[in-house]
Structure 1
Amino acid sequence: MSVADLDQSLAAAGELLRSAGRADLADRAQAARVRAARPNTVVCIVGEFKQGKSSLLNALIGQELCPVDDDIATATLTLVRHGEQADAVVRYVGDDEPKAERIAVDEVATYVTEHGSTSDRRIERVDVLVPSPLLADGLALVDSPGMGGLGAGHASATLSFLPFADGLVFVSDATSELTAPELDFLAIARERCPDVVIALTKTDIAPEWRRILDLDRAHLDRRDLDIPIVPVSSALRQAAFTARDRELNERSGIPELIQVLAKRVIGPAKANAATRAAGETAAMIRSTESVLRAELEALTDPAAAERLREQADAATQRLETLRGGSARWQTVLGDRITDLSSEVTHRLRGRVRETTRIIEEQIETLKTAEQWDGLAATLQSDVADTVTEAFVSIETGRGSIRAELAELLAADDVIGPSESRQFDVLDTASMWRARDIDPSESSGGRAFRTGITGLRGAQGGVLMLGVSSQFLPQAAALFIASNPVLLGAGALFGGFQLMDDRKRKLQQRRQGARTQLRSFTDEVQFEVMNEITQFLRSVQRELRDEFIALIGDLQTSWTAAAQQAQQTLAAGEQAATERAAGIRAMLERGDTLAAGLDELAGGAA
């Protein structure tokens, strides 16, 4: 599919809609054009402590943004995206409403390190805008805290983030081969986010990096993991920028990594955005054509003009009723949100209860310090998976509810029967067809069988980063990846290192562990249930506002069509003839554009 062809078609569609008197739809077509050109693509950079994650992010964007000193480590989620002017915002979480504080970009390091800010407030994340050519097409990079042996809370939270991300860059330095825990992590990550790339860092200080590269590839082959490995040197990249040395830049491996990301992550994201933009714009054209055909019929048949006026009056009244809070679709929306809330919360409580029971049983068998640590990691992973599944289920439910509402409205004969009308005036289903979320399950071995494939990228038309007024799936992922409650299980049993095997002490430790376990799971449920409630409210508001806006669009269309036809007929036969000729030209142009957009959408898919 040609990007230029799509852009031209979307631009032409906007002009057509504007000439048809639908400036509102023309603006939407322009918005779809912008989204297709710059889809929001989220890539998460993860790895163990001191593997070179922050240095790699700096090398990718060509700026010294994140701290890279040997004696400090990143401890706060950092979101980096494009901005014409450099800017940074620190987001805090407290007992009251979330707070945001704008800071200078050169102060970012102070807030994202393990020492953090001197403020008593707890930092959730830091959002950064930088003018970077790499990020200009909508790419957003997430610099995550180091995962500390892949058994700490951040590892599980990162895995839970992945269903909402478009890609993952796993950082492992070239001084040693991939470890078993790293390979285990990659195996799970590959299931949750198909687009995974390994960056083999620090090749400039590892003379045996080629041997390590071969060993890592052999490890991946034995696990049947098709993950590309790109050797890179952030230091060489920085030296290349300083010396303006093109050859040195190529040797750094960063350009190759960018090419791999473009092919495996950015390219597919653009294709998905193009598909949605083409499908939505084609639906808008067809909706407008329906009204134009009715107007054309009125212009060529005086009796039809009167029917159009009557139909438009009836449609306006019926649509106004549909906009009211007592409309059947709004009742269905409320009922389905309630059902979804009950289903998700019941499943969440059941999963947490089952996890608690299993962990309590395992506590009775633990004897060594290593077993305690392993059990804490298991608890962390299970709880993070449970929370993620809840948010994924809500987003999948959103798609199902949207589709049901569209079909419900499409089934209503809004303007009444008409033997002469051979088209569906209220084509709500087609307006939303391109926005449905694929409910199909992924193939065997997937961690979640709740529509993750369809979920990823489904909200590509909405900015993920820096939007605090809407709680989107990506924001749910940020909640998972930065919530201290979900990150706290790693230290849950930290006070239970076994000094001896005396039965009394062992029983005391087990009882203490059970107490802390219940306290932890209760706190998780309390905090997550609050977030789920807010999320569901935002889903209901969003769907309500979207369909009310759609109904308002139809009201505008039919009122304008009736008025236009009446005015043209009153102006005389010549005016009616000219208007009819103009409508025929718009219909012909619209048919061509809609067919072309359908073809482009099919090619992108």
Structure 2
Amino acid sequence: MASPWLDVLDDTIRACAAHERQDLVDRLRVRRAQLVEPRVRVLVFGEPSQGKSQLVNGLLNAPVCAVGDDLTTTAPVVIRHASEPVATLVTGGDDEARAIEGPGHRPVPIESAAARANADETVVRAEVGLPRELLAKGLTLIDTPPVGAPTARHTRNALAALQQADAALLVSDATKELSSSELDLLTRVCALCPTVVVVLTKIDMVPGWRRVAERNQAHLARGGLPVTVLPVSASLRLAAARAGDTALNEESGFGALVQYLHRDLIGHADLLRRRSVAALTRLTADQLTAPLRERLAAAKETDTDELTARWRAAGRKLEELQRESQRWQTLLSDEVADLVADLDFDLRDRTRRILREVDEYFEVADPAKDWDEFAEWMYENLRAVAETNSNWLLDRFEWIARKIARQVAPRGSGSLRERWLESTQLDDHVGELRRPAIERFGVGQKLFVGMRGSYSGLLMFGLATTLAGMSLINPISIGAGAAFGAKSVFEERGNRLKRRQSAARTAAHRYVDDFFLIYGKESKDTVRMIHRDLRDRCTAVAQELRVEITESAKRIKEVIDTETAQRTARVRELSKSIDELTSLRRRAQSLTAAGTVRGLTA
């Protein structure tokens, strides 16, 4: 039956694979292989020149790690139990995942393993086997490159090794209190490896190391780091080992450190694994959850504001179009009514001016002589009136069409003039001006009128001259008769001219009235025809705009609905993934619910 922590780790690996994080899958598989082994991996780390390598040598009572003021560990040294001393250099390139496990083994003398590893940049790690009781129960010590070393490769290798450790020893010498960088490093380490102890080295060189230890413990408490501080002296440990001095060995502090490694670590191996898996799973879950939360926030904040604004704008435009429909129809009716009134006034005014000219013309002109010329003049003037009035009608309608276009944008209104002119003949409104009946004044009529006038004069003056003794017919009466006859002829000719002029004026007036009636009726019919045409065209354009806006709004709404559905699906899927990772994190947290180990942080 698999252990609960192993199930959690397997589920974590599957979650990484599901989220396509192959780098995490590879790293967790390496860690899984390590955890199923009956070993406890303890990582020794710290900043440069803190005595890490000397601490490892003191624990093992063997010079397995290179020490010296001018020496810096550049590759991890992994020390395991072996029946005979053995050392191997592992090469395989500069890779974080290979900082602990990797191919390429080259045996070397144990005395020079650490030195050669530090000298060769292709070496990933050095593996050392020693027949030590401390290592016999499964303890594995790993000396790492110093954190914050001059090269980034050293720091990267040290931090990569932390993810593969069951416990960690932070080495800090007693010459100073824990620095802010060391406290920050501890915070990072506790997230990667929950079992940490601070080993205070070089206490033999600092008489007041106890005050340093107390202050370090206070710093850790203020930082929320429940980490134990163990003071040791590697120099005293090695000296005690050489002299076989138990009291000196106890003074070195290594007895408490060895007891911690045996009792608290190896004695609680399963708890260490559970804690390690819990921390690793929490860290992995957080790594997987962070981008998911960002994607979830982005999905929730998917910008549909522009589409929604366009959709609402389309709705407002439809409402506005509906209101404008009533407005432009009222406007069109009012403009057409004004146009009819103006056209009627213009037609009356122009025809009256023509009639006034006709009256003035026939004050002097004789219709008998000038009628043909007058008829031509009348025809041309009435035709000009019809053309002017028609053009004005069309100009006003084009102006009305442009005015209405601001609200409904009618298309094709520019063709009104051509369409109406093609279907209208102006000659139809100007008919033939017929000559009025003209009374002729011929020679016989003149003689008759002259004789009638001369008789009156002859008789009147003849009677008057008889009183003077003259005869009735005498030269005076004859002259008077001739004068009166001529006068009668002239008067009758004038009267007949006036009657002809009056008849001509009456015919012209009747002709103009007929023109006004016929053209006025045709003009009103044209106004109604163009009114209906423009109204129908504007209505059709407004309907096209309504259909176009409705279809556009429908398409926008479909896009919004589709994007909303897709966003909802993405949010649901991301939320489900986050919930699964949260549940996995809670399961990992439950692994640390029972059991305590000194130096362990939950």
TM-score bracket relative to the smaller structure: 0.3 to 0.5
Structure showing greater relative contact order (alpha-carbon pairs closer than 8 Å, 6 or more residues apart):
1
Structure whose CA Rg is larger: 2
Bigger helix share? 2
TM-score using structure 1 length: 0.38
In the superposition, the TM-score normalised over structure 2's length comes to 0.39
